[in-house]
Amino acid sequence: MRYTLIWKPAAERRLAQIWMEGKDRNAITVAADAIDRALRYQPLTLGESRNGQIRILVEEPLVVVYEVREADRLVEILDVRLIPARR
């Protein structure tokens, strides 16, 4: 069953900032799209559990922190960060 996915405004602004400053905007776009698709269908089986319903998911070059509200079939992305490039 499908979940509704929303980005907190602060997370959405942070993603825009990451994209604007990014060296590989295509990789950021691809990762954000993959996160959106994955969390709409499997939010509880992806990533790692944190406190309560909070989870973290890595889709390089991004990592997102999100909350799942199972009763509401809602996933809310709380934060997004850029993973530093490996050398």
User: Given its phi and psi angles, is residue 73 left (phi above 0), alpha (psi -120 to 50 degrees) or beta?
Assistant: left
- Asked, for residue 17, whether it belongs to a domain, the answer is yes
CATH number for 15: 3.30.2310.20
The C-alpha angle 45, 39, 46, rounded to 5 degrees, equals 25
- Asked, for residue 55, whether it belongs to a domain, the answer is yes
- Asked, for residue 87, whether it belongs to a domain, the answer is no
- Asked, for residue 29, whether it belongs to a domain, the answer is yes
- Asked, for residue 51, whether it belongs to a domain, the answer is yes
- For 39-69, write each residue's pLDDT tens digit: 999 999 998 998 888 999 999 999 999 999 9
**Inter-CA distances, 50 with 1, 11, 21, 56, Å:** 23, 18, 29, 7
According to DSSP, residue 69 is labeled E
Q: What is the mean pLDDT of residues 12-26?
A: 96
pTM score of the predicted model? 0.91
pLDDT attached to residue 85: 72
- Asked, for residue 28, whether it belongs to a domain, the answer is yes
- For 75-87, write each residue's pLDDT tens digit: 999 999 999 777 5
What's the maximum distance between 2 C-alpha atoms anywhere in the chain?
43
Q: Tell me the residue range of the domain where 71 lies.
A: 4-82
Q: How many domains does the chain have?
A: 1
Backbone angles phi, psi at 8, to 5 degrees: -60, 145
